[in-house]
Structure 1
């Protein structure tokens, strides 16, 4: 840290004044000591005897003289005092510079950091202040992202609700005004309104599930889950829908009866959403394979299909809420865009990870979960039951 010219002049002036004051103080002490010795003959004789007894060598060199020792001692003290005062003043100037930098940052210059490289506690202060500013900026950015995310959520929900609601009102309005020519038209209008209402319910259900699993402190009902049985039941539940689309759905678990500590209901929602996603968006797929494997202390569940490849630019966005690959925005597939966001939220509740890979041969969603659920809250009870 560089001092200003004024601060340097002030430091030199203070050193000069300190030397003068110490010189006057030393002179006063010498006069007082000399006067005390002269006024006390016994003390003067004692000092003389000591001086004579401490003469050595052929040249009768004196190795002790109270005047020399007193002057040397006072000179050492003077040097220490001058050094202490100058260092103290220098540290005060450093502190003033740090305070000035803080005021500058507080005025709104949040991209600025204190650039000083100091020593000791003051460097700790500089490091802590810079870290605090970084943390504050990060918190502000996170807050902005949260607000932007809330706005996007409201916009997306409003859009996805308004579209089917407009259709429902339109067709019911036609029925209300008796603007149909036959019972066939009436059934067509009511069926369309019914399908749009189901689409709205699906969105509301997904939105409720997403907000529920994203809340802080979401309860997790942990129990021992048999993955072999869960995945077999999952494959069977989608078998009919898969056969209509000529997609074979299989489940395989190794070792057999693989157990995991998890919330059975939420975990079932994860795998159900991933299989449904493969059925909905896996265009021209011939199979969906569900495989569970034990990997060290974790369980890795892979849900793969040989359908159309997911564009590389979309892979990193798949788990964002309301995100849908552009080619999937047709009426045939539709979707709320919340399914994979729900998957990620539930997996994170179990302290696991989910990722996706896709190429021309196969698309794989890979869920990795710890076999034993590690609660962040102390005092959690153990597994409650078996599923």
Structure 2
């Protein structure tokens, strides 16, 4: 309808212009002579055709101009209709239909707007889902902390209640009760300390005391500090380091906690094992790799992707004799990531390996390259295969 109305208005305008021009020419002899001279002087083509009817030329020019105006008006209206449909689609999505996307395929800049809107909706949905995951993670954290705090706290209250109510028969029983309460309090403190370290390491702005350190020397010192505990459990610590020192820029205290947690984990859960291997190797000019390995029980394949989750335990119980807070590996992963590196685990019947990759220079961030095949170690061939 807009096109039809536009055509009618343009035809009336053209007719008015033609009538006015005709009237001006008829009443002005000088203008007529000038037009005649111009007609004779204009020739077209090799046959030298002359334009004797200026009205036809003028009408043709006006028709071309009218066609351009009509096309512009229709295209403008069409784009307004497209925009209205896009707005309707946006309202539909905003009403809660978040799985819906604008299906139009349109040429020009409008298609870029549609693609941007769809990408924005995808981003919003992803943010909502991430927020829900964070909220669920917080709930799980509160539940797990409450569980792990309630168990020792119940024991502490119970034994102290026996002493308070004088339900003991000798001084030896009092010492037994207080000793049990003390051990449970130590367990609670360990959980609170680990939880504090975990939440602190999860923050991207956690300060690091960066210094130059010899990674091989650190592993040898850690092996010496765990030697007595390992001997008591029938295990032997082996350190495999290159002849040349491997120096990196890192926070020695926090990185020491990583290897401390991994060695402790190997001692606790390496059932049936007799050896723990600490290895370190320089991968290239910018990267080093270290591993803590044990020949104990294999980690089930379905548990490999979950071992770094907080409070997760492979043995499936939160009250096993192995104890622990379930935060050791999560803390280790957070510290490694804070240094710009990454950590992963492989497990086979012969060996379970926790492998750490760290940048040599502080401030660099490594791209995680975790092999699909399990059971790799830090030998020359397998390191090359991994990278």
1:148-185: CA deviations, max 9, x gaps?
11111111111100101111111122222222233333
How many angstroms does 1:62 deviate by?
3.1
User: Which consecutive segments of 4 or more residues in structure 1 shift more than 4 A?
Assistant: 53-61, 327-330
Contact 1:259 1:371 in 2 (8 A): yes
* CA separation of 1:58 and 1:257: change in aligned 2, threshold 3 A: closer
1:161 aligns with 2:166: no
The match for 1:257 among 239, 245, 252 is 245
The match for 2:92 among 76, 79, 104 is 104
**Cα distance in 2 between the residues matched to 1:185 and 1:38:** 132
How many angstroms does 1:42 deviate by?
0.9
1:283-308: CA deviations, max 9, x gaps?
11101100000001211001100000
**Cα distance in 1 between the residues matched to 2:26 and 2:99:** 71
1:88-146: CA deviations, max 9, x gaps?
00000000011111111111111111111112221121111111111111111111111
In the comparison of the two structures, how many residue pairs are matched?
364
Residue in 2 that maps onto 1:316:
305
1:325 aligns with 2:290: no
The match for 1:121 among 91, 94, 109 is 109
**Cα distance in 1 between the residues matched to 2:269 and 2:156:** 26
Contact 1:270 1:343 in 2 (8 A): yes
The match for 2:342 among 340, 344, 353 is 353
**Cα distance in 1 between the residues matched to 2:33 and 2:339:** 93
* CA separation of 1:57 and 1:236: change in aligned 2, threshold 3 A: closer
Contact 1:344 1:353 in 2 (8 A): yes
1:344 aligns with 2:333: yes
1:257-308: CA deviations, max 9, x gaps?
1100111111001011000000011111101100000001211001100000
Residue in 2 that maps onto 1:144:
132
**Cα distance in 2 between the residues matched to 1:362 and 1:169:** 43
Contact 2:345 2:353 in 1 (8 A): yes
Residue in 2 that maps onto 1:32:
20
Residue in 1 that maps onto 2:374:
none
Contact 1:275 1:303 in 2 (8 A): yes
How many angstroms does 1:333 deviate by?
0.3
In the superposition, the TM-score normalised over structure 1's length comes to 0.90
**Cα distance in 1 between the residues matched to 2:312 and 2:323:** 11
Contact 2:204 2:338 in 1 (8 A): no
In the superposition, the TM-score normalised over structure 2's length comes to 0.90
Higher relative contact order (CA 8 A, sep 6+): 1
Contact 1:281 1:328 in 2 (8 A): no
Q: Equivalent residues in 2 for 1:1-387 (5 A)?
A: 13-54=1-42, 61-63=49-51, 65-296=53-284, 297-326=286-315, 329-374=318-363
How many angstroms does 1:236 deviate by?
0.6
Q: Please, which runs of 5 or more residues in structure 1 have no aligned partner? A: 1-12, 377-387
RMSD: 1.9
